[in-house]
């Protein structure tokens, strides 16, 4: 798994990242426009993939795609820390014959056409397209509440980081939609093309000719590129937040947000990650065993967000058991800080973390996103080096890292307590 990533600077703010890999039956080209997660632009950025896909379906792009069998193009919005990312992807066949390479080159042309010259009239998007996709985006935003497990974690983050960019939702806000029209959206998109940081990833069959073709396709000079600042990480908790969203729902959803203040490049971060898995990373975790033995919750797990060194514990809890589960979680965290866990706990957690990292390699799109994340945090380690560092985490490092965990926000979505 010691995959070599070759990085080439094409132009100012445009980089090509190459991974020669023949494990899968597809080749993947991903182009990421990396933007600051800003409240004033977030809804326009979220609307763009919908409008551009509509453009693709209504233009020569779609006709070209129909001729490239077993190939497709997709556009997504991703949140990575305090960055909002517009992702364009093209999947093509392995180079089993010469025609396959030609298909991949045609897909590169299609993607370039979709990005640089989307279907438009007089340098504006179609008002009909924009109006339809505004309605679609409104529905997507409204449907956030359907998946409660995701929704409640997002709500806890919004409350916990309300004065920071990390609280901004990448899908945007309904109240912004009325201010967006086809002219303003197209102008905004042109600014993105001119100023966004662009990271291009190609994973699959490679040769020098294809590399040169990608470079030539996306080589264009720009006067300036957006500066992207590093996320601030703090472990300070000035005052504990208690947020209740009362609904006639029992069991309800509990989320507790913890700050640690350990940045991801700190050696102790690995100890924090292993500790979080010991606490709530699966059926062998302390929280899982606690709720099963005491029968005071339906499930409970833990997730670490590296960009803010944030730990979220969440699960379904009956309102009558609310205080018991809060006390139980506090006890398990205190035990972690005291080193009350075994070598077997550590080994199981390390294996889980490594399996999670390796699983990303099984899907080229997930793997591409994973590699982008490492570029954004300037993590130059190979995958093997990352896995070895997880293996080397000691009990003392877990204890030391766990001592930094401080409760910040308690969010409950359910029946009044």
- pLDDT single digits (tens) 321-375: 999 999 999 999 999 999 999 999 999 999 999 999 888 888 889 999 999 999 9
Class in CATH terms, 5-217: alpha beta
Average pLDDT, 10 consecutive residues per value, the chain (417 residues) = 80 94 83 97 97 78 62 88 96 75 85 82 84 97 93 96 95 97 94 96 91 94 88 84 87 95 93 97 90 81 94 93 93 97 96 92 89 90 89 97 96 88
CA nearest neighbour of 90 among 170, 203, 199: 203
How much is the pLDDT for 104?
A: 85
With residue 210 as reference, give the H or E element that holds it. helix 208-217
How much is the pLDDT for 236?
A: 84
How much is the pLDDT for 161?
A: 95
Helix axes 395-402, 268-280, angle to 10 degrees: 80
In the 8-state DSSP scheme, what is residue 178? G
How much is the pLDDT for 135?
A: 97
Detail the DSSP E strand segments found in 40-169: 72-80, 83-93
How much is the pLDDT for 63?
A: 63
- Neighbouring C-alpha atoms within 13 Å toward the C-beta of 19: 27
How much is the pLDDT for 384?
A: 87
If you write DSSP's letter for every residue of 135-202 in order, what string do you get? HHHHHHHHGGGTSHHHHHHHHHHHHHTTTSGGGS-TT--GGGGGG--HHHHHHHHHHHHHHSEEEEEE
How much is the pLDDT for 61?
A: 62
Same fold, 5-217 and 241-414: yes
3-class DSSP assignment, residue 269: helix
From residue 232, how far is each of 10, 40, 264 by CA, in Å?
Answer: 30, 20, 11
How much is the pLDDT for 295?
A: 79
3-class DSSP assignment, residue 168: coil
Residues 6 or more apart in contact with residue 199 via CB below 8 angstroms: 15, 17, 31, 32, 34, 372, 375
**CATH classification of 241-414 is 3.30.2010.10, yes or no?**
no
In the 8-state DSSP scheme, what is residue 25? S
Handedness of CA 335, 339, 340, 344 (dihedral sign): positive
CA nearest neighbour of 363 among 16, 23, 5: 23
C-alpha–C-alpha distance, residues 300 and 292, integer Å? 10
C-alpha–C-alpha distance, residues 302 and 278, integer Å? 9
C-alpha–C-alpha distance, residues 145 and 152, integer Å? 8
The first and second tokens of residue 270, run together, are 């690995």
How much is the pLDDT for 68?
A: 62
Token pair 């023949």 is found at 22
3-class DSSP assignment, residue 48: helix
How much is the pLDDT for 58?
A: 67
C-alpha–C-alpha distance, residues 367 and 89, integer Å? 13
Residues 6 or more apart in contact with residue 259 via CB below 8 angstroms: 234, 235, 236, 237, 308, 309, 310, 405, 406, 408
- What are the contacts of 149-155 at 24+ separation with CB within 8 A? 149/253, 149/314, 151/413, 152/253, 152/255, 152/314, 152/411, 152/413, 153/255, 153/303, 153/312, 153/314, 155/243, 155/245, 155/255, 155/411, 155/413
3-class DSSP assignment, residue 255: strand
Q: What are the extents of the domains in the chain?
A: 5-217, 241-414
Strands 26-36 vs 197-204: parallel, antiparallel or unpaired = antiparallel
State the pTM of this model: 0.92
How much is the pLDDT for 230?
A: 87
C-alpha–C-alpha distance, residues 246 and 414, integer Å? 5
Determine how many CB atoms are found less than 10 A away from the CB of residue 139. Answer: 10
CA nearest neighbour of 319 among 245, 257, 253, 407: 253
Token pair 């912004």 is found at 176
């Amino acid at each position: 798994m010691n995959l070599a990533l070759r990085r080439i600077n094409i132009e100012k703010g445009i980089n090509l990242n190459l991974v020669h890999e023949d494990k899968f039956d597809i080749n993947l080209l991903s182009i990421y426009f990396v933007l600051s997660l800003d409240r004033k632009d977030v809804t326009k950025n979220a609307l763009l993939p919908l409008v551009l896909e509509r453009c693709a379906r209504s233009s020569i792009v779609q006709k070209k795609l129909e001729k490239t069998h077993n190939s497709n193009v997709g556009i997504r919005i991703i949140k990575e820390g305090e960055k909002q990312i517009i992702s364009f992807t093209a999947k093509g066949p392995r180079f089993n014959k010469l025609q396959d390479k030609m298909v991949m080159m045609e897909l590169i042309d299609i993607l370039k056409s979709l990005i640089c010259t989307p279907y438009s009239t007089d340098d504006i998007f179609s008002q009909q397209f924009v109006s339809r996709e505004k309605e679609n985006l409104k529905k997507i935003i409204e449907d956030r509440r359907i998946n409660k497990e995701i929704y409640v974690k997002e709500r806890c983050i919004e409350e916990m980081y309300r004065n920071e960019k990390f609280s901004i939702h990448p899908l945007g806000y309904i109240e912004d939609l009325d201010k967006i029209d086809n002219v303003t959206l197209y102008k905004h998109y042109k600014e993105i093309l001119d100023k966004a940081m662009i990271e291009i990833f190609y994973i699959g069959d490679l040769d020098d000719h294809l590399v040169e073709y990608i470079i030539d396709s996306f080589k264009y000079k720009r006067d300036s590129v957006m500066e992207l600042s590093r996320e601030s990480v703090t472990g300070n908790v000035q005052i504990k937040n208690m947020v209740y969203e009362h609904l006639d729902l029992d069991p309800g959803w509990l989320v507790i947000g913890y700050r640690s203040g350990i940045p991801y490049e700190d050696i102790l971060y690995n100890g924090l990650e292993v500790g979080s898995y010991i606490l709530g990373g699966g059926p062998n975790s302390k929280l899982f065993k606690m709720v099963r033995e005491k029968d005071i919750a339906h499930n409970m797990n833990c997730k670490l967000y590296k960009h803010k060194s944030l730990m979220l514990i969440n699960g379904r809890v009956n309102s009558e058991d609310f205080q018991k589960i809060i006390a139980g979680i506090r006890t398990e965290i205190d035990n972690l800080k005291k080193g009350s866990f075994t070598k077997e706990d550590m080994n199981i957690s390390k294996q889980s973390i490594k399996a999670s990292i390796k699983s990303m390699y099984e899907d080229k799109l997930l793997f591409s996103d994973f590699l982008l994340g490492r570029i954004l945090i300037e993590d130059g380690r190979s995958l093997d080096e990352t896995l070895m560092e997880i293996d080397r985490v000691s009990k003392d490092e877990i204890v030391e890292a766990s001592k930094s965990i401080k409760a910040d926000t308690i969010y409950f979505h359910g029946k009044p307590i």
